Amino acid sequence: MQTFHLVIDGAQVAGQAGDFAVLNPATGAAFARCPAGSLEQLDDAVSAARAAFASWRLSSASTRRSCLQLAADDLQREAEEIARLIVQEQGKPMALAMSEVMGAVAWMRYNAELKIPVELIEETPQQRIELHRKPLGVVASITPWNWPLMIAVWHIIPALRAGNCVVSKPSSLTPLSTLRLVQILDRHLPPGVINIVTGEKGFGSAITTHPGIDKIVFTGSTPTGQSVMRGAASNLKRLTLELGGNDAAIVLPGTPLESVVDDIFDAAFLNMGQTCAALKRLYVHESQYAAFTAALAARAAREVLGDGLQPGVTFGPVQNMEQLELVHELVEDARQRGASVLCGGARLAREGYFYPPTIVADVTDGHRLVDEEQFGPVLPVIAYHDIEEVLARANRSSMGLGGSVWGTDLEQAQSLASRLESGVAWVNCHAQIQPNTPFGGSKMSGFGMEFGVEGLLEFTGQQLLFVRKTESA
Ligand code: NAD
């Protein structure tokens, strides 16, 4: 078994609370052990970050840029090894894990090159007024288990680029690729600028109330996000909360089925459906309903399930048993209310947490499968009659991460998309993200943006500089 260490103040150390098993979801068996940090080690990491902040905050843009680019070089060089780790801890197929690593590299490079703007508000012979952006101090990053490396990069890199020091806390289900990432970053950064502590369940809440942390960037479920927010009130920590979603997609009447079915399937089942902004509720006009559900079921049949390290596998397991049980519970609830399960709908009788891509028809709003976030490999397809009615149904959710409209009349599709109550509205695509386009939720899906300059500025506070010019003698 490979050995993993915490990184605190530039040193690789063992966990004072021992270690814990990391399971491979393709087998359900332990394949590695992760160091379990103690609460004292969390304090050490926060103190190290605080001490390092005194000089890192003053480092030049070019210093920060070159440190981050060197780390990106290393991540790229070690991509295959880290991708294998992601497959083993998270379950996704190797090709998808490689795209996670290479996406992380691209995000690092893009963020490294971003500039922090100074806004000139007024310049007159009498006075000059500028708005400056300053780093916040110590940022804690708390990440989920679905895209462990990618989301860690989304948190950590803009925080560092803006001049903060970081304490990372990955999910205890998928900590290993983040431990590797932080080791790589630590090679190129002064001691204490980046730290990582891992622990079993319960460790995260100690972070939310920690008085030495100035900001938390959190990605995870809405209930945990609410708990983070409560804890953060203790010292008014700044927050970015990227929480759950229940994204609706509306297919306009007359949309040619063959031109969109593959894209809709991919958006719903990206990472076995375990993606915050995956397409989670599909509304199809009644005139095309039977054809769409049949085409989606046929598309699902093409997936090859198995251990993501095996060649030819396109569809991995669900990451953990709890999530698999939730997915199945929602499918069973729909079935008992008269839904038709067109394919999948049962755990595979083999080792690991395998649940095949499942298409559920004859469901509607009010069913748990439609109203709740399934976060797994099942898509409910819902028939609608009228456009205004379907828009109201799409917007009835308490979540508001993403949403999409599909159709050939771009004007109509765009006009409808702009009325979706979501942080991102897509037309003829879904879950499309890129480093230069801000992304974030509305309603109970959270607040604050990631990516682009907007995302970078989330890791800064503002200082207004007001200069009254004196007459020179
Ligand atoms: P989760 O909320 O259970 O855990 C997320 C992280 O929070 C983990 O590191 C966990 O250890 C930690 N944690 C748990 N309890 C905590 C507490 N009381 N205080 C502080 N930290 C705590 O989420 P998950 O099951 O890992 O991930 C799935 C959820 O994440 C889904 O709802 C999904 O939609 C959401 N998600 C959202 C986005 C987004 O960008 N909006 C991206 C990915 C995942």
pLDDT band (50, 70, 90) for residue 472: low
Pairwise CA distance, residues 59 & 52, whole Å: 11
Looking at the structure, tell me whether residues 253 and 146 fall in a common domain: no
When divided into structural domains, the chain yields a total of 2
Q: Which atom of ligand 1 is nearest to the CA of 225?
A: 2
Structure tokens at 274: 């375990």
Q: Which atom of ligand 1 is nearest to the CA of 244?
A: 34
pLDDT in tens, 272-281: 999 999 999 9
Structure tokens at 440: 């974030």
User: Which of 20, 224, 237, 274 is the best mutation target for the ligand 1 pocket, counting ligand atoms within 8 Å of the beta carbon and taking the most?
Assistant: 224
Q: What CATH number has the domain bearing residue 272?
A: 3.40.309.10
pLDDT in tens, 414-464: 999 999 999 999 999 999 999 999 999 999 999 999 999 999 999 999 999
What pLDDT is stored for residue 291 in this prediction?
97
Q: Is the confidence at residue 226, as pLDDT, over 60? A: yes
134-164 burial, b at 16+ Cβ within 10 Å, e below that, comes to ebbbbbbbbbbbbbbbbbbbbbbbbbbbbbb
Q: Are residues 351 and 344 in contact, defined by beta-carbon separation less than 8 angstroms?
A: no
What pLDDT is stored for residue 201 in this prediction?
67
Looking at the structure, tell me whether residues 45 and 190 fall in a common domain: yes
Task: Pick the residue whose CA is nearest to atom 13 on ligand 1.
Answer: 204
Residue that is written with structure tokens 């200069």 in the block: 467
Looking at the structure, tell me whether residues 409 and 450 fall in a common domain: no
Looking at the structure, tell me whether residues 187 and 284 fall in a common domain: no
Please report, for residues 208, 224, 250, the alpha-carbon distance to residue 37 in angstroms, rounded to integers and kept in the order given: 16, 21, 46
Ligand 1 geometric centre to CA of 153 (Å): 16
pLDDT band (50, 70, 90) for residue 288: very high
Looking at the structure, tell me whether residues 201 and 346 fall in a common domain: no
Residue 469 lies in a domain: no
Looking at the structure, tell me whether residues 168 and 113 fall in a common domain: yes
What pLDDT is stored for residue 465 in this prediction?
98
Residue 209 lies in a domain: yes
pLDDT band (50, 70, 90) for residue 470: confident
User: Which of 276, 320, 433 is the best mutation target for the ligand 1 pocket, counting ligand atoms within 8 Å of the beta carbon and taking the most?
Assistant: 276
Residue 439 lies in a domain: no
Q: Are residues 466 and 127 in contact, defined by beta-carbon separation less than 8 angstroms?
A: yes
Residue 440 lies in a domain: no
Q: Which of 34, 165, 276, 458 is flagged as catalytic?
A: 276
What pLDDT is stored for residue 237 in this prediction?
98
Q: Which of 34, 89, 165, 242 is flagged as catalytic?
A: 242
Backbone angles phi, psi at 175, to 5 degrees: -85, -15
Looking at the structure, tell me whether residues 254 and 328 fall in a common domain: yes
Structure tokens at 219: 């990605």
Q: Is 242 a catalytic residue?
A: yes
Looking at the structure, tell me whether residues 227 and 281 fall in a common domain: no
> Which domain range does residue 312 map to?
247-427
Ligand 1 geometric centre to CA of 80 (Å): 26
The pLDDT of 51-62, averaged and rounded, is 98
Pairwise CA distance, residues 53 & 55, whole Å: 5
pTM: 0.97
Q: Ligand 1: residues within 6 Å at CB?
A: 142-146, 171-172, 204-205, 207-208, 219-221, 224, 227-228, 242-245, 276, 373, 375, 401, 441, 446
Task: Pick the residue whose CA is nearest to atom 11 on ligand 1.
Answer: 171
User: Which of 167, 221, 271, 401 is the best mutation target for the ligand 1 pocket, counting ligand atoms within 8 Å of the beta carbon and taking the most?
Assistant: 221
pLDDT in tens, 193-208: 999 999 876 788 899 9
Please report, for residues 279, 318, 431, the alpha-carbon distance to residue 306 in angstroms, rounded to integers and kept in the order given: 23, 11, 24
Residue 436 lies in a domain: no
DSSP string covering 391-432, please? HHHHHTSSEESEEEEE-S-HHHHHHHHTTS-SSEEEES-SS-
Looking at the structure, tell me whether residues 136 and 168 fall in a common domain: yes
Residue 432 lies in a domain: no
Looking at the structure, tell me whether residues 368 and 356 fall in a common domain: yes
Looking at the structure, tell me whether residues 273 and 234 fall in a common domain: no
Residue 435 lies in a domain: no
DSSP string covering 308-334, please? TTSTT--B---S-HHHHHHHHHHHHHH
pLDDT band (50, 70, 90) for residue 1: confident
Looking at the structure, tell me whether residues 258 and 363 fall in a common domain: yes
What is the average pLDDT value for the chain, to the nearest integer? Answer: 97
What pLDDT is stored for residue 3 in this prediction?
86
Structure tokens at 71: 């780390």
pLDDT in tens, 99-127: 999 999 999 999 999 999 999 999 999 99
Residue 260 lies in a domain: yes
Q: What CATH number has the domain bearing residue 154?
A: 3.40.605.10
The pLDDT of 223-240, averaged and rounded, is 97
Ligand 1 geometric centre to CA of 224 (Å): 6
